[in-house]
Amino acid sequence: MPKLYEYLGIVIFFYSNEHEPIHVHGRFGEFESKIEIVLLNGQVKSILLQKVSGKKPLPATQAKHFKNLVTLLADEITQSWINYFVYHKKIVTKKIAGKL
């Protein structure tokens, strides 16, 4: 489970056996949601917050923080996806202190 970020108590990560489309999971305690990053011609077109089957979705405040982080860092997250799943590079976790 490559962990990308720790942000306001939310852990943002990929599962090691992920599949396309590009998406990232956010976990806060027992809650988990995911965000799909929709690309068009290599550019971020939209950010879609979604439920994870069998998991309680993130509470509203954490979902908002999660979506804000992914919106701001979508290009970086996309590059991390490519680096990990295509080039098999290691992911280094970034701890983000304070609101973005």
Q: Roughly how many angstroms between the first and final C-alpha of the chain, as a whole number?
A: 24
Helices (H) and strands (E) in the chain, counts: 1, 6
What lies within 8 Å, CB to CB, of 23 at 6+ separation is 34, 35, 36, 37, 50
How many residues can be counted in the chain? 100
Q: State yes or no: pLDDT of 18 exceeds 90.
A: no
CA dihedral defined by 87, 89, 80, 50, rounded to 10 degrees?
Answer: 90
Structure confidence at residue 51 as a pLDDT band (50, 70, 90)? very high
Structure confidence at residue 19 as a pLDDT band (50, 70, 90)? confident
Question: For residue 53, what pLDDT is reported?
Answer: 96
Structure confidence at residue 77 as a pLDDT band (50, 70, 90)? very high
Indicate the pTM of the whole model. Answer: 0.94
